A and B are shown apart, each in its own frame.
Chain A
């Protein structure tokens, strides 16, 4: 379905130092800096997959998405989506894709949302029956009945994002690109959006590619993760694999009465205060149950809490590991 091979993209950015003298100098001679936004990026995604594309800011996520959408053309490399090269067969290609840029709206600011949808119907030449069916279904799923007559400018961010989803799905695209779809949303809207994307993927079989900084998005939605950093694909695998690769530790916090207990093999002390210790566990050596048993033999334990490492910490760990 989607196949990228050896994609390179370099931007030439004029560099200007601050200060008036430098600005004056820049009028006559400019220094350029080459930024390698993407270097030898290759991956394949098959139909119906849901892929999370993660990486720190400036890693090249948006650039990759823009190439796959046909907005940018790479310096070299092959990109084949559903048999087409996006930037060559732009019009045929974009008929098959839906794009949501979380930070930018595709709706017309001053007209009611419903009118924006009608314009999109005409832009995509969606036939009346299919349009009606799609619209009714999407509006019902995302609970937008009351706001169809409201101008976009008065919508809340959560409402707007749900409308954006509808707008990019009216023409039943085979592939949906979501660039930070949950950015700035409250918890309820986030969950609604995630649930909707999940449904869409399982019912229509739409291929979904999503970039995000929200690890809960990744946990909730994607089976597969692509990690990009400094323009290179660093990892391509499932969330489970990612968990295995990252330093996968648990922490246990004990509150107890009595002197500080001794630790067993596989336990490292992270924090100690009178009556409270925090311990790292290496699960291969010592299970949580064993650790609790070991400590409670020595002191009277008042409270225990066990915490796994969150996806967020895991990714932060990965960024550190790859030095990106």
Chain B
């Protein structure tokens, strides 16, 4: 396997051919934020929070879907990138109806945590306040589109690990929604195995376990996702 050497934020690091900038940064303890990225499932560069600058390239690249190359000079943190990340995060908050105080994921939410890490104290843009559905038809779980940021972790984990491919995406732009099967209520899905993997990987409160009060949170006892670890090893990551 070819080993490449490169720089991330001025640090000399090395990685194997085929690895992403995100993978190598993680291995070297360099924190690049990302909400759609989850080790063990394929990356898709959806959330754009991991954008980095690559020396010699005029445009930003998503670190999770950009492979390393010999001599690459990557800037993962500077004032401009933080500003882009704040803007992207702000738009995620405003596109749907995120109300941290009364969310099942309050204090266990990657979006909320990220906003704090980025020092976000308010929004400059107006809220969209769309009318979206909450699907409570499944006997164990719920889907609240108000909290969905379209990271598509649920789509990928269901397809790549559970092998059921219950989830997919319908419509475009602001109308984009996660859908079960061909747009049926989750409870009526013929393919769902009720394994709960999608609920475990959801970074926000969009997918949640039913029957838990808001104050109890749902992520305290999130297991360490053993099946993701196995998958990671199989992929040689």
A binds B: no
Q: Report which A residues bind B (CB closer than 8 A).
A: none
